[in-house]
Amino acid sequence: MAGTTKVSMICTKGTLDWGYPPFILGSTAVALGKEVSMFFTFYGLNLLLKDTSKLRVSPAGNPAMPMKLPFGPDWLQKINWAPKLPNIFMNNMPGFEKFATDMMLKSTQKHGVASIEELREICQEMEVKFLACQMTVELFGYDHSDFIDGVEFVGASTFFDESSNEGTMSLYL
């Protein structure tokens, strides 16, 4: 990251498992002395909502998702169930999305990983810019009051302004 003074991210994913990378990378970049802006659009807007209780882990299209149980005897917790359960089974089994979400939440708690809300708050305390795509806000029928405080509602051109400077690293998440 030599020569990089700024990190600009496009955040398009709005599931529980995809909520972690932007906030972890954003807070890490600030800790390394970088200025950080995060442009949330489409499903990524879910990460900026006041109520994140509906964030889920979707096994659909995610065949690499490790499936280890966060409970039970050690030998059972070490089994990676993903290669043993065909993706079509995980996608079509009623209740599997809730099961996968509960497993992820239990695993993050067990390993002391901060919640999405905590990571988001840390980023705000570190002055990471949260930019929400106004067009997508309107498209999805959100009100500005649905979002946490501190979000700037901007057009897509703002991302280019944020990311076009020399020394800026752009990430698509």
Is 90:96 a contact under the CB 8 Å cutoff? yes
**pLDDT tens per residue across span 27-66:** 999 999 999 999 999 999 999 999 998 888 876 666 566 6
Strand bridging mode 35-40 / 129-133: parallel
**What pLDDT is stored for residue 1 in this prediction?**
59
pLDDT digits (tens, 9 = 90+) for 151-166: 999 999 999 988 888 8
What's the whole-number mean pLDDT along residues 77-106? Answer: 71
User: 73: which residues sit within 8 A by CB, 6+ positions away?
Assistant: none
Predicted TM-score (pTM) of this structure: 0.82
Residue 134 host element (H or E):
helix 134-139
pLDDT of the residue at 9: 93
CA distances in angstroms from 102 to 48, 74, 82, 159, listed in the order given: 21, 19, 16, 34
Q: Which domains does the chain have, with CATH numbers?
A: 6-54+115-172 (3.40.1260.10)
Mean pLDDT over 62-87 rounds to 66
The whole-number average pLDDT for the span 81-106 is 71
